[in-house]
Structure 1
Amino acid sequence: MTGGIRRVGVVGGGLMGAGIAEVCARAGLDTVVCEADATAARAARERVSASLERAVGRGGLEPAAAQDALARLAFTGDLEEMADRQLVIEAVVENADAKTEVFAALDKIVEDPAAVLATNTSSLPVMRLGMATARADRVVGLHFFNPVPVLPLVEVVASLHTAPGTVTAVESFVTEVLGKTVVHSRDRAGFVVNALLVPYLLAAVRMAESGFATAADIDTGMELGCAHPMGPLRLADLIGLDTVASIAESLYDEFREPLYAPPPLLHRMVEAGLLGRKTGRGFHEYGRS
């Protein structure tokens, strides 16, 4: 079946959606990115174009290959453009209502009953999104990692309704077409990676909140003491503190374990708009590009 998937749609052109679209286009796929409106669609195009330019600048991509990838991409503000897609990957904001609305709409728009509807959610139940459609057997989680063009992992998450054939098809697509590595997870909040990672990040937030150590010392300690490539608070800033808080809330709602509860400092920073790299300030400060 994977040999037949040539037309991919991505709903959401933010950091994750743009990255997913880029890797699909670089793999030779006809890729359409849908954003909320034409202005957001232009911003998504600029985001992908800038990423391709960086790849060329690093020597990881030939200029001609970057041009070819961009030529395979179309950007729109009209969800109806997903009608002929064989695989649609949702990558909108990590909000259950927003994602459910997208899946309900895609169920009516996507014409091929064999098409796969996938979500890039990092924490929400795939089952909930599948039940918003009349094709829950064709709904699956495909959780990519940021930055998508660089990190080689994708979590494949099947709900209780997802057909085994859907799982096999998307696993083959991810490994054979996109060239990434798959790990499988049950449909539980956080899946494999975030269920392990987020409590660690929250512990670092609590340590900084208590005044036990500074953000700089916490990060330096884990980088130099544990050989982590990035300290927990810098990593939280990279992910986005709003996203970390959202994942933590989903984990806490599901498991009711104190280690998953977002610390008050994290909530205050999100309320203040101090979201990390994307706003120029989180636990650390970052220069605006």
Structure 2
Amino acid sequence: MAPKGNNMIPNAHFHKDWQRYVKTWFTQPARKYRRHLKRLQKARAVAPRPAKGPLRPVVRCPSVRYHTKVRFGRGFSLDEIRKAGLNPSFARTIGIAVDHRRRNKSIESLQLNVQRLKEYRSKLILFPRRINKKLKKGEATEEERKLATQLQTVVMPIKKTTRKIRARKVHEAEKKFSAYTALRSARADVRLIGLRAKKAKEANENAEDLTKIPKVPKVTDKAPKAPKAGGKSGAAGKDAKGAKSPAKTGKDAKGAKPAAKPGKDAKPAAKPKEAKPAKEAKPKESKPKEP
């Protein structure tokens, strides 16, 4: 086969007596059998306890990339042990792994592992430490002990659940929904929460000040008026749009100050100037053209 990709062209030089550097794995089958014998020896030593170790909690993998996956944890937290009605030191003696460093960051994980402990406790056959003495609370009788068998697999494995979604009709709201718009609006709400709270507070404190009241867009249900029949809508529209109201000047202007009241120190107001009459334009005489 031809090489793939922009890689280095293989050009190996076997000039270093390569037979000396070859490592063989002829002992692999024997090691496999040796590991099998060790597992059997360990299972006989811990019998009738589970061969694959103690009960472990169900936890979420760390980081955003893997937090949707579930796996076994190192041990149950102290809160989970106490919520299940057990003592941490006693829990270690009945095949429950305990990790005093672990902290529960959600109620769901706490409830899940507490339920897991209670289920394990209900299925557990607890052998007494001393058979000849009187049985304590929770210890199994002789008949129950005869029914006990050693578990060769993991204690209470994780069950993978798959949800089947049925086909259905797509609603109008789902068609109009935009994930981009929803995300941008949510980010804007978080960014502007302080500014909006400040404006609302100022509006409550200064109820009479109209400038502090937040603007609300006007919504009108009126339909636009239809143009009159027979009229030139284009010319009329331009004249109407281009017409401007006469600007206020002088005393009628918006920014004009009110006149001061007469008093001792008040100066007499200046008399308004009389407007001069406009000059009449003389009509131009048109000279007759010569033939």
Structure with the bigger RCO (C-alpha within 8 Å, sep 6+) is 1
Point out the structure with max Rg over C-alpha: 2
Q: Structure 2 length as normaliser, TM-score?
A: 0.18
Higher helix share: 1
Q: TM-score, normalised by structure 1?
A: 0.18
